[in-house]
Amino acid sequence: MTTKNEALKALQKRKKEVLEQWMKNQLEDEGLRNNLISDEDQQQTSDELLNLLLAALNDSSIEDVHSRDFEKVLDILSGISISRAKQGFSPRETGVYIFGLKEALLTTLQKDMKDPAQLYSESLKLSKLLDNFAISSFETFIKGREEVILRQTDEITEISTPVIHVWDGVLAMPIIGTLDSARTQIVMENLLQEIVETGSSIAILDISGVPAVDSLVAQHLIKTVSATRLMGAECIISGIRPEIAQTVVHLGIDLSTIITKATLASALKSAFSMLQLEVSKSKINSIPLAAR
């Protein structure tokens, strides 16, 4: 059966004092941003974590950072870290939260323990335990931040590769940013799916927003054009700026089998010609004003 020594009993008895000191440490931090979390939510979360920690502390668990007694403590710490990562907190702010608790516990412990040797021993155990909690929180925070970054990357990729149905039988896909292997796969999947759904016979890839074209980017474009042709559609590349044309020639990249145009308007005009369509201005008959 686990027991609690005098030091742990003292912390349990002074739980309210520990919480007050912990909240004071948090509120006095110059980097605290009240716009991310309210003082009420901060106190409620801190109170819940402190209760779980003090309930889990005993003579055995305090010396074992991997004790199963701390499972609930680590669960709530994990939730706090992930939540803070998604809310926009910095790693420093998350660290201050845990180290503020450590300082509050050690400060309170000093008030009841007069034996220096015993105080040193218990303080060392608590420090090691809280440091381990801090490390665990950092690891979880990083995972949470990585999830946010991956989600944002997916959203940006989806936004930056739209397929536009510009005319009956004509699709256009403006590409913005660098075209790498992963993004090429998304471009091809979106474009081919839209070709199937709309039955379009012409696809325009506009690379006006691509900062530079090297041999790798050119190969990705050629793969996209080839995949489009396998679906029975013709592909036109527009947005070939003078600097891009010079780069393509300098690198010896052969785009002679691909229809290329300088602007999206030129590509659209070429698409109309391939579909044997003609766009002309209509004459609007003017109605003379009645004489006053």
What is the per-residue pLDDT across 34-48, written as a single tens digit (0 to 9) for each? Answer: 666 777 888 888 899
Nearest 5°: the CA angle 131, 134, 139 is 130
Per-residue pLDDT, 88: 80
Sequence-ordered alpha helix ranges (H) in 160-214: 181-198
- pLDDT for residue 3 is more than 50: no
Contact predicate 279/243, CB 8 Å? no
Rounded CA-CA distance 75/89 in Å is 19
Q: Which residues are 176's β-sheet partners?
A: 209
Closest residue by Cα to residue 214 from 204, 225, 226, 222: 222
Hey, what domains does the chain have and what are their CATH numbers?
6-155 (1.10.490), 164-274 (3.30.750.24)
pTM: 0.55
Instruction: Taking residues 90-109, report their average pLDDT.
Output: 86
- 51's enclosing H/E stretch is helix 39-56
3-state secondary structure of 165: strand
Q: How far is CA 290 from CA 39, 283, 285, in A?
A: 74, 21, 15
How sure is the predictor about 268, in pLDDT bands with cuts at 50, 70 and 90?
very high
pLDDT level of residue 25 (50, 70, 90 thresholds)? confident
pLDDT tens-digit series, residues 52-65: 999 998 888 888 88
Looking at every residue in the chain, the average pLDDT score rounds to 84
Strand partners, 259: 236
Q: For residue 220, what is the DSSP state?
A: H
pLDDT of 255 > 90? The answer is: no
| Proportion of the chain above pLDDT 70, given as a percent | 91
Q: Residue 260: helix, strand or coil by DSSP?
A: strand
Residues 101-129 as b/e (b if ≥16 CB within 10 A, e otherwise) read bbbbbbebbeeebeeeeebeebbebbeeb
